Structures are given as C-alpha cells and as structure tokens.
Amino acid sequence: PPSGRTGVLAALDADQARAAEVVDGPVAVIAGPGSGKTRMLTHRIAHLIRDCGVPAGNCLAITFTRRATEELRSRLAVLLPGRTRKCAVESFHSLGLGILKAHGALLGLPADFRVADEAERRSALAAALSIGEKAAGRLIKKVSALKRSAAPAEGEDGEALETLARLGREAGWVDFDDLVGLSVELLERNPEIARRWRGRFTHILADEFQDIDAWQYRILKVLAGENGNLCVIGDPDQAIYGFRGADATCFERFAQDFPSAKTIRLGRNYRSSGAIVAAASAIVGRAAEETAVRPTGDSIVLHTASSEGAEAVFVGGTIETLMGGHDMLAANRKTGGKKASGPLGFADVAVLYRTDAQAAALRAVFDRAGIPFRKSTPAPIAGHEGVVAILDALAGQSGQDRAPDLQARLEAAADAAARREETGAATLAEAKGWLKTLAAAYGDEKALREQVALSTEADFHDARADRVSLLTMHAAKGLEFPVVFVVGLEDGLVPFSFPGSPEDAGSLAEERRLFYVAVTRARDRLFLTRATERFWYGKTCALPPSPFLQDIPPHLTRHETAAAPAPRAKQYNLF
C-alpha cells in the first residue's frame, strides 16, 4: 500500500515511510532483499534535509564500497537536485581516512601520510623479513584477517604485524586495514575530538549493516554517541562476510548498546517475481514471510551441462536469445556500447559465480559470440596493482624524458592490468583513457592513488556501460538485474569447500546465505546452471549437484536442455 505521505516520502510504502520518518534516536531496519531498504535510506536522507531542516552537511551515509557510495550519491542527486553535495556519503575506509587526515598527528602520523596498497606493503615486508613476495602476501592476508576480527596476533603473524607497523611509520604510510581501527583509537582516546565529530554528523545511516566488522561497529558507536541518531539497515540472512571477521551478532549488539532503539521491518519484496521470492525463501528455510509485489512471472530455469564449457555455451546462447539475436548486437554497436533504451540490454544481465576461476570459460564463449561483458577484478588488491602498475609506468613519462623502454613498460603494465582487471577488452589506449578520466575526476595523481587504494572489488564494476556483468556472488551484493544466471551449482563450489577438507557448520550456513544473495539479485528471469564435469583443482571431476538446489520447490522450476536458437543467429559470423 502507498504510504499516503506527501513530498519525498510519497514514493515509499507505509512501512518504508515509517522507517524513514523516525528521525530521532537509534533505529534498526531489518528486512529481506529487494524490500526497499536502500531506497528507504536515500528517502530518509532526503526527508531529513528537505522536511526536517537538517543541514545536508550533518548527514552521513555509510556503506562498504566506493561503488555503493557512488550509487547512493546518484540516487540522492535525483531526489534532491543541487542539494546533496554537502551530504557525506562515505565508505568506512574513506571516513577513517578523513578522520586520520584531520587528527593523525595525535597518533604520530606525518601530515602527508598516505594509504599503502597491498603491493607496496608486500614488497616492503618481503624485503624487511627477507622472504619471498608470495610468503609476504600470505602473511599480509592473515594479519588483515586478524585485524578485522580484532583478534590478537601471535608468532610469525605477530612479527609481521609489528614489522608492517614499523615500516609504515618509517615510510609515512598507513595500512588500508588500519584506517578504521586507528580512527576508532583516536576518537575513543580523545573525547573532545569525538564530540566534535558527533556535532558534525548528527544523523548517521549505515547500509548493509549485517556485514559490519568489530572496528566498523565501534566507529559507528563512537560517532553516534549514546542516544545518537543512528539508523542501521540490513538483512541478517544476507550476511556473507563472516569469513572476513564480520560480526554476526551486530543487530543484537546494536539493540544492547542502544536500548531505546526502534526496530522496523519491511515486508514486501519489490524486486523479484513471485517464483524467485518463493525459491529464495525456501533456500534459507522459511515460509515466504514477505510478499512478492509482483507475484506472477517466469519459472526458474534449471540447466545441466556436460562440462563448464558447455555451461558457458548455454549461458551465451541464452543471452543471445534474450537479446533477440544479432539485431541486439547491432544496436549495441550503434549506441557505442552505452546502454540503449530498448527492452533489454546487455547491462540488464549478470552472470554470478562462486570463484573467479569460473569466469574463464564464460569469457571465452562471450568473446567468440561478441557479447560485451565486464568482469569485476579477481580480488580487491589485484585491481589496485594493475592501476598502480600503470601509474608507475606513466610516471616515467613526465617531462621530456622519453625513456626508450617506456612504451614497453606501459604496454606491459596495461597488459598486466588488463589481465588482472579482465575487462575483456582493455587495451593500452583504453587503460590510458581510463586513467585520464580518473585523474581529471580526482584532481591529481596522489588523490587518485588514494582512491585506488580505497577501492574494493565491486568498485571495478561499471553499471553504466551496456555490458553483461560477470561477478562473484560476493561482489553482487546490493545490486539487482532483470536477468541473472547463477552458474557452477555443484557441491564443492556451492557450498564451496576445499577438496578433502570438510566444511564446518558455520561456513556451510554462510555459503547458503551467499547463494541466497545470488538468487535474490534477479528481478525477472533466473537461470541456475551446473556442469556434470568440471576441471577442479588440477583434474577433471564429476561433481554432484549443489545440495541447495534440492531446497527449491520443483513447481517453481523448469528444465531446459539447450538454449533456444537465437533469431538469425548465423549472422553472428559477420562480426
């Protein structure tokens, strides 16, 4: 039912409007995927600014990735034309950076400290401990995990931790993982400064709260103060970062720490068709609590392929069919790769998988068929490395100094970046163009480097280009697409387990939630595919179907043996 409100809140339903309206004191909004949590968040900010007279600069919206902050900013710009520039929309890391920039001296940081990416930390650590880069990389990963869970580091981990801290102090850099922890330390030790920040951000909103870790929670808590206006938004069923130290009890802790908090639940799913909502509820083992606003829709398609190559062919063929064959490709070329305002574009399609290795077969098929695609980076850090490598190469270009090996270095760096970014088509020219755009957007190279260091996996996914998105299930959180393929639904991949090492109950539950997140990205069409044989850990294995598939009621699904032939598919050869 519509909210019956006027103004900004008219675009919300009654529950959403109630959540957006309670602007004083702590509030938790807990609701399932597609229920409009993020929509509520943006409208709540608009309501605060437009209807409650809260200065935009006093609002802080916080999310996990830069990509998500950009999404929030653009949605806000539509709601509040010209008035949102002052509203702070930050990732936890950019917030931490801002606080350390303002007061880092209190922690002994130099005024011009910078954020080191993993590549830089890895080489520094490898040199300091006289170990290989790979070993250093492993240590850094372990230390990062320990830091996120605020667990004590012992033995070689402890040594690595101390060495990294010393190296940072000597060279004037701060570890990406420390931005939030150091700010918490600073604010907790300096009540006067904390008070000033509380005066700056009188209204705080945090999206995807279910994935928050111990430090991130503490920074929210210290900024909100005791009866602070803190609104936390999330879905415990979508918690997928336990392996990285996210705190599964965050909503309970919030209720304990803020006893006056109100809890508001949203009950309708606006995103997905009825079959998708019903399947998703079955996956997490409960009756469909929320009602699908769009009860009708296609059944979910199941497909079993003989190999991962055949699986990719099915995905590619189905995309071609959905696009109406070569006409759609031609249209894509005419619009210069920008999303056409047709019924369905490539950007409306996402292919989600559990591990990055699965993308290779898909890329090969898409390349052959001329299906444009964009892939998120294999790991957060790999993306930074690629960009940093190009930056380093470009740095050599300054002035008249045209070193004879410059071209080779640039090409090698761009090539490395292209492989790492795996955008499918990154050429040297594209990479340079991309950097120019970024540099223009961020002013100078130093700022740019900072932005790159603050980026995470999902940031390298550009929603505006008309390309199919190839994403890990993790990177897909918060996003939605009319058409979603979830591939590789085999036991061992979904749930994921290393061969020979049984998974524990906790990680099994997290894998189930991850599958739930994947399925609930779909609006209209959902395709679930698996291969009976796959190259897996060095050999071809016959993997049984994912046990999660059995939880989907059969009446919601239909089996398809092959992609329907695309109209005039033969003409593909012309491209």
Whether the bond between 495 and the residue before it is cis, its omega within 30 degrees of 0, is: yes
Residue 38 annotated in ligand binding: yes
CB-based burial label for 306 (10 Å; 0-12, 13-18, 19+): exposed
Q: Which partner in Mg ion, ligand ATP, none is near 534 (CB below 5 to 8 A by kind)?
A: none
Question: Is residue 513 near ligand ATP by the rule CB under 6 A?
Answer: no
Q: Closer to Mg ion at the Cβ: 37 or 374?
A: 37
Q: Which partner in Mg ion, ligand ATP, none is near 36 (CB below 5 to 8 A by kind)?
A: ligand ATP
108 CA to centre of own chain: 33
CA distances from 472 to 85, 148, 422, 468, 542 (A): 32, 22, 13, 13, 22
Distance CA 457, CA 240 (A): 15
The DSSP code for 273 is: E
Residues 431/390, Cβ–Cβ less than 8 Å: yes
Among 16, 84, 318, 358, binds ligand ATP (CB under 6 A): 16
Residue closest to ligand ATP, measured at CB:
36
Among 5, 18, 37, 147, binds ligand ATP (CB under 6 A): 37
Rounded least distance, CB 103 to ligand ATP, Å:
33
Rounded least distance, CB 265 to ligand ATP, Å:
11
Residues 513/238, Cβ–Cβ less than 8 Å: yes
Residues 424/374, Cβ–Cβ less than 8 Å: yes
Question: Is residue 235 near ligand ATP by the rule CB under 6 A?
Answer: yes
Characterize the bridge pairing of strands 533-536 and 539-542.
antiparallel
Question: Is residue 39 near ligand ATP by the rule CB under 6 A?
Answer: yes
- Where is 486: in which H helix or E strand? strand 481-486
204 φψ region: left (φ > 0), alpha (ψ -120 to 50), beta (else): beta
Q: Which partner in Mg ion, ligand ATP, none is near 271 (CB below 5 to 8 A by kind)?
A: ligand ATP
Distance CA 309, CA 229 (A): 52
Distance CA 91, CA 72 (A): 11
Q: Closer to ligand ATP at the Cβ: 349 or 361?
A: 349
Rounded least distance, CB 208 to ligand ATP, Å:
7
Q: Closer to ligand ATP at the Cβ: 12 or 184?
A: 12
Question: Is residue 12 near ligand ATP by the rule CB under 6 A?
Answer: yes
Distance CA 575, CA 573 (A): 5
Q: Which two tokens stand for residue 397?
A: 């270009």
Residue 37 annotated in ligand binding: yes
Q: Which partner in ligand ATP, Mg ion, none is near 332 (CB below 5 to 8 A by kind)?
A: none
For the chain, state the CA radius of gyration. 24
Which residues bind to Mg ion, rule: CB under 5 A?
A: 37-38, 478
Rounded least distance, CB 258 to ligand ATP, Å:
22
Question: Is residue 375 near ligand ATP by the rule CB under 6 A?
Answer: no
Q: Which two tokens stand for residue 308?
A: 């991962």
Rounded least distance, CB 238 to Mg ion, Å:
9
Total residues binding ligand ATP (CB under 6 A): 18
Rounded least distance, CB 517 to Mg ion, Å:
11
Distance CA 449, CA 86 (A): 23
The DSSP code for 173 is: E
Question: Is residue 478 near ligand ATP by the rule CB under 6 A?
Answer: yes
Residue position matching structure tokens 């524990």:
504
Question: Is residue 270 near ligand ATP by the rule CB under 6 A?
Answer: yes
Q: What is the DSSP string of 370-416?
A: T--EEE--SSHHHHHHHHHHHHHHHHTTSTT---TTHHHHHHHHHHH
Q: Closer to ligand ATP at the Cβ: 41 or 300?
A: 41
Rounded least distance, CB 461 to Mg ion, Å:
16
Q: Which partner in ligand ATP, Mg ion, none is near 270 (CB below 5 to 8 A by kind)?
A: ligand ATP
Applying CB under 6 A, the span of 8-16, 49-57, 79-87, 99-107 interacting with ligand ATP comes to 8-16
Ranges assigned E (strand) in 407-521: 468-472, 481-486
Question: Is residue 13 near ligand ATP by the rule CB under 6 A?
Answer: yes
Q: Specify the 3-state DSSP secondary structure of 304.
A: strand
Residue closest to Mg ion, measured at CB:
38
Site for ligand ATP in 236-255 (CB under 6 A): 238
Question: Is residue 36 near ligand ATP by the rule CB under 6 A?
Answer: yes
Rounded least distance, CB 474 to ligand ATP, Å:
13
Q: What residue ranges bind ligand ATP (CB under 6 A)?
A: 12-13, 16, 31, 33-39, 235, 238, 270-271, 478, 480, 520
Binding positions for ATP are 31-38
